[in-house]
A and B are shown apart, each in its own frame.
Chain A
Amino acid sequence: MIGIKSYGAYVPRYRIDRNVIYSAMGWLNPAIYMAGEKAVANWDEDSISMAVAAAIDCLNGMERGKIDGLYLATTTPPYMLRQNSGIVAGALDLRVDIRTADFAGSTKSGTSGLLSALDAIKGGGAGNVLVCASDCRTSKPGSAQEHLYGDGAAALLLGNEGVIATLEGHCSVSYDFPDRWRASDERFEHAWEDRFIRDEGYGKFMIEAMSGLLKKYNLTIKDFAKVVYPCLYPREHAAIARRIGAEPGQIQDSMLPTVGDTGSASPLMMLVAALEEARPGDKILVASFGSGSDALFFQVTEGIGEARAGRAVKKHLASKKGLPSYERYLAFRNIIPMEMGMRGEETASTSMSLLFRDRKMVLSLCGSKCKRCGTPQYPYQRVCVNPDCGSVDEMEYYRFSDKKGTLFTYTGDNLAASTDPPAIYGLIDFEGGGRFWFDLTDCDLEAVKVDMPVEMTFRRKYMDEARGVHGYFWKARPIRA
């Protein structure tokens, strides 16, 4: 019984009303208008950090030592050289004797990763594989993509026992479909005419994959409780349902009006939303789009009732804050040059040998715990910090990233160079012991209080553009609703 053991998702805190975008840029291209809002990654988020967030949501306290593989699907990998899934695996403090792989180049990469993981499990190469799909796409001001694309991530833990939905079948088609493309040295994508994409892409080969699956397994569309597929065009989304003979009630919400299209993550996020509502026995059809299509057929088991409840899609959607200004949105995505002051222009180089040596401390947020007195301490110490102990080299690694904490004290700093001033940071006391300084994120100074509970979130700490380094570390945030 191979299938999904657990699911998780991530939608960033910020949403921007599309009217705010249209008010700013509608003059350029008045025909582009979409209702609703879209999810916007904070300035310190990207596809790696959101993948980690979705993975944490999916794991939700599960034993990480049992994971044998980590696949990351994204069309916006922060690194072209340096495995992005390796950074995610490090942040999750997974074992090192595992498989990691990046799936990229197409918005169907999420399902490509899913199928590869399921194949690896079926072939006996791995017991449990975590698949993350995440996208944080930057669009040109005034473009249709600026309205359409939102930021988000999904994660699915796949395995061969204790599954909540079994994989019953799949069917793929692959075309070199040049609807959208972005060369390796380009920042923004190019797109061919929408009618072409609609008629030759969604209208043909996504249906081809879904129909192929139905035929292959001798099923009809009526057998499925939910049909899950993304589509950039709301009208075509409904038209596809009619063409495959599905009733509107069978069609999973595309999340276009609430999150936007999240690229590689879209079909997986929609699948997570479907699983949140699923009942035992439900059949779910999932299809992706991009350079062809993968269609997958899952059947929900009795285990769905015991699925570990993280925030998934529903709670993440409800937990939000409006981003009132288009200019701040552009600043968050680094689209307009910002005056950061001479102080902000100083960037020390990152020592990669140090980063590698201290990877457990930096990526995995592991400190040490004294085997003699039990004191957790961060960063890793060889000499125990407890003045009444002082043991030397009697330490074991101790992970802080999954510990909650309280905010011992804090400030909002207007002098520190920040994309989103004031820079808020404080001293965190961890549940179970340990104290250290951390940046705070996803919060407003007025709402921050001494002794408030916080949780850790993996973020981009700095960007060294001259040397091409994305520096990642953990920050604290008020516990998200």
Chain B
Amino acid sequence: MAEGIKDKVAIIGMGCTKFGELWSKGAEDLMVDAFKEAIEDAGIEKKDIQAAWFGTHFEEHSVGKGATSLAMTLKLPFIPVTRTENFCATGSEALRGAAYAVAAGAYDIALALGVEKLKDTGYGGLPGGQNLMGTRFRLIGPNMTAPGAFAMMATRYLARYRLSPDEGKMMLARVSAKSHHNGVLNPKAHLRREVTEEQIMNAPIIAWPLGLFDCCGVSDGSAAAIVTRADIARKFRPDPVYIKALQIAVSSGEEMMYSNWDGTHVESGYRAGIKAYEEAGVKNPRQEISMAEVHDCFSITEAVTMEDLQFSPRGRVKEDIAAGRFGLDGEQPIQTDGGLKCFGHPIGASGLRMMYEMYKQLQGKAGERQVKNPRFGVTHNMGGFPAMNVVSMFIVGL
């Protein structure tokens, strides 16, 4: 019987750059910035790091393939470095590699670093990537972008739960308005501006029914974590953050090619959630999870994720959103740092950025955004599209 990695791995240092349209910074600058903060936070030196995992997604727009760009940028001295890639869950994948390595006892200290330089393409939105899902898909796939792929989930959600366009868009506007409010409080966030629900609902349509403010920021940035074995973590700091669960689920093709998927949830998210709660011993996620950073690439993604992670009953998230449950002062704060929506979404860094916020919150260092006495924090990092994807789930606690 597999044991999982509960309480075997601790995070002892983290770094995260400011996210945004960082015209004067390249991917290499961002790696150095995130790394510096992480080793200073852990109180270690570069020579203490025994292995590293490096996450980046659109390598063709910045650092190229392989792991050499991390090793050579940081001048890591001939240690093992591995590059990970798993769509937008790439950053979590890097942390997963590092966590498994120390849990296995292969190394004492490992580095996970994610970076993405998205703003060197010359246009808004994510890079086009006609071969993103392979050379065959380029011949048979629709002329699709990320907002469109997620908009299809919103269309179906509205139809299934019989919400009028106005009702549906109001539900989604509240999701984004909450994250904008949190983003204002976060000096590292890309978008730091309050917006009203009315502004959100009246914004130009990107992909019906999603408007501009239903979409997350397209940002440059980097984040990093230093992990070690749980049994030696307190040698480095008094408040290490422990991994209580680490689960990942990947689409089997059923959602896209079989007709049993309802189109209003993310099956991998639901399954990763169940496995993570089981590993961490969480019986009632709605009650026991203090806070979460979920993959709100679009407002609809956050809304259905509340249902997938069992924070809200199926089809009922609208009521919880309207009641303010997920606000900073609500019963279960979500996206306390602004989320992908406002902190921004440099793909390879996002999973580690989510962890950065949970880590700071658990250590009581989240400043104006501090959640009161958090016990369990969740990161939920999704890659791909609602119909075919990967979802990575961490549960962390002190």
Contacts and interface: CB of A to CB of B under 8 A. Distances in A.
A387 B148 contact: no
Contacts of B125: 343, 415
B128 A346 contact: yes
Interface string B4-29: 00000000000000000000000000
Given A422-B207, A435-B256, A354 B263 contact: no
A408 B207 contact: no
Interface range, A side: 35 or more
B139 A415 contact: no
Interface in A437-459: 437-439, 445, 450-451
Contact of A343 (B123, B131, B209): B123
Given A409-B152, A429-B259, A350 B139 contact: yes
Given A413-B151, A416-B143, A354 B136 contact: yes
B258 A413 contact: no
Contact of B259 (A355, A417, A435): A435
Given A346-B128, A433-B259, A450 B140 contact: no
Contact of A416 (B148, B159, B252, B259): B148
Interface residues of B, number: 43
Which of A342, A413, A434, A438 neighbours the largest number of chain B CB atoms within 10 Å of its CB?
A413
Given A342-B123, A385-B254, A423 B139 contact: no
A361 B140 contact: yes
B154 to A, nearest CB: 8
Nearest to B262: A408
Contacts of B142: 423, 425, 437-439
B153 interface: yes
Interface in A361-396: 361-362, 375, 377-379, 381, 385-387
Contacts of B254: 385, 387
A324 B208 CA distance: 24
Contacts of A435: 256-259
Contacts of B259: 429, 433-435
A346 B151 CA distance: 23
A359 to B, nearest CB: 10
Nearest to B146: A415
Contacts, number: 141
Contacts of A387: 252, 254, 258
A426 B257 contact: no
Contact of B387 (A348, A386, A427): A427
Interface string A442-481: 0001000011000000000110000000010100000000
A414 interface: yes
B72 interface: no
Contacts of A416: 143-145, 148
Contact of B139 (A386, A409, A417, A473): A473
A203 interface: no
A386 to B, nearest CB: 6
Interface string B266-287: 0000000000000000000000
B140 A343 contact: no
Interface string B201-216: 0001111111000000
Interface string A393-418: 00000000000000011111111111
A341 interface: yes
Which of B123, B125, B209 neighbours the largest number of chain A CB atoms within 10 Å of its CB?
B123
Nearest to B261: A435
B122 interface: yes
A425 B257 contact: no
Contacts of A378: 257
Which of A350, A386, A412, A427 neighbours the largest number of chain B CB atoms within 10 Å of its CB?
A427
A437 B141 contact: yes
A380 to B, nearest CB: 10
Contact of B207 (A362, A412, A417): A412
A282 to B, nearest CB: 45
A385 B151 CA distance: 25
B379 to A, nearest CB: 27
18 contacts: A348-B131, A348-B138, A351-B135, A362-B139, A375-B258, A387-B258, A409-B153, A411-B151, A411-B207, A412-B208, A413-B143, A413-B206, A416-B144, A417-B128, A425-B143, A434-B257, A437-B256, A461-B143
Given A411-B148, A417-B128, A473-B140, 9 more contacts: A346-B128, A348-B138, A354-B135, A361-B140, A385-B253, A409-B155, A415-B148, A425-B143, A434-B259
